[in-house]
Amino acid sequence: MVQLGFESCMILGLDIGGANTKAASSDGSFTDMVYLPLWKNAQLGEVLGRFADLSPEAVAAVMTGELADCFSDKSAGIQSITATVIDTFSCPIYFWGINGFQWKDPLELAAANWSASAALLGREVGDCIFADMGSTTTDLIPIKGGPLAAKTDYQRLGRGELVYMGLLRTSIGALLSAARIRGDTVPLSPEFFAITADAYLTLGDLSPENYACDTPDGASKSREASLRRLARAVCADLEEIGEAGAIAIAEQVRDHQFRVVVNAIERQAERHKLSRVVAAGIGEQVISGAARFLGMEITLLSEKYGQRISDIFPAYAVARLLEASSIV
């Protein structure tokens, strides 16, 4: 790789998700995350244009956004996203698929972001469960002499390597079937009334600035507004169940999500005889708590690479993989 000064030698990694687009340079000096809900026809090209202004030497990209339901199927999503990236950058662009930068079928690009993270960690950390909890989903990738996860989201769901549940955007009505409030067991509405971010915010585990997605009702990210959304999930005004009732719901959401993560890690640990967890993503602390609960060895990605990089790890990983490859 020819070094031509900072701007021109930058390798930029991109992770284009359905809800967030993340970017990082291979040296880790630049990282960014933009909330960009593709299913609401967000302007991907506009955001990528800002990254193009950094004049990277090369771009390495992974995606998961092809599943967004604005696309009729994954192929249509991959075609649209790759076309937008290619139109925006004038430098060479390399897309990482589940089998690496070399691929034949564009479908190999579908949901391959975990694969880039796992490939880098396999080299730098060795055997472990790589557990990355994001806003929307949690990846649990067994790495034993290389990543062992299945190739598609569908297969990973079935094997528990993809747990469709995250720190921010998950509807609590889909996570928790019922809440116990003042001795009553009250089923939750399946409507999109409140999300995990509301639970963590009211419990003081999440700041309003880190509530990095839209609120379900379009109201504010204040504690009061989150309490109202939690109450609405049991068809109640906040006055009806009181702040204690809404906080009980939040506690039960946190507790349930924790137990789901514990069970999911345990399943992979038993299946692959792995005793170490590398925790990543904005839900790193949840992963780490669950691994500690199971008595497993823990590496925090935020300690190894710094918090900024942990938060957008697939973007960083794919940039590093391109840098280390013989391609550029």
Which stretches of the chain bind a copy of itself, using CB under 8 A? 39, 67, 69-70, 72-75, 111, 152-154, 157-158, 162-165, 170-171, 173-175, 181, 184-193, 216-219, 228-229, 232, 234-241
Around Cβ 202, how many Cβ atoms within 10 Å?
A: 25
**Of the candidates 60, 51, 56, which has an alpha carbon nearest to the alpha carbon of residue 10?**
56
Q: Where are the beta strands (DSSP E) in the chain?
A: 11-16, 20-25, 31-35, 58-63, 93-95, 128-133, 138-143, 162-163, 178-181, 184-187, 276-280, 297-300
Give me the least distance between CB of 170 and a copy of itself, in Å please: 6
Kindly tell me which of 91 and 235 has the beta carbon lying closer to a copy of itself: 235
In the complex, least distance from residue 322 CB atom to a copy of itself, rounded to whole angstroms: 27
Question: Shortest gap between Cβ of 213 and a copy of itself (angstroms)?
Answer: 13
Indicate the residue type of 299: T
Q: Shortest distance, CB of residue 240 to a copy of itself, whole angstroms?
A: 5
Rounded to whole angstroms, how far apart are CA atoms 230 and 202? 9
Our CB check for a copy of itself shows the closer of 170 and 288 to be: 170
Identity of the residue, 179 or 280, whose beta carbon is nearer to a copy of itself in the bound complex: 179
Between 125 and 175, whose beta carbon lies closer to a copy of itself?
175
Least separation in angstroms between CB 150 and a copy of itself: 11
Nearest CB to a copy of itself, comparing residues 182 and 292: 182
CB nearer to a copy of itself: pick between 54 and 238 = 238
**Per-residue tokens: 24:** 């990082």
Asked whether the beta carbons of 230 and 172 are under 8 A apart, the reply is yes
CB of 130 to a copy of itself, least distance (A): 19
Nearer to a copy of itself, 8 or 263 (CB): 263
Nearer to a copy of itself, 6 or 39 (CB): 39
Between 49 and 242, whose beta carbon lies closer to a copy of itself? Answer: 242
Other CB atoms within a 10 A radius of the CB of residue 194 amount to: 30
* CB-based contact 187:178 (threshold 8 Å): yes
| Shortest distance (Å) from residue 156 CB to a copy of itself | 8
Residue 22 to residue 251: CA distance in whole angstroms: 30
**In angstroms, what is the minimal distance from the CB of 15 to a copy of itself?**
17
CA atoms of 288 and 294, how far apart (whole Å): 10
Residue with tokens 């199971």: 294
Among all chains, which residue has been given the structure tokens 């989150």?
226
The Cα 165–Cα 160 span in angstroms is 12
What's the min distance (Å) between Cβ of 195 and a copy of itself? Answer: 10
Burial class (CB in 10 A: 0-12, 13-18, 19+), 217: middle
Q: Are 287 and 85 in contact (CB under 8 A)?
A: no
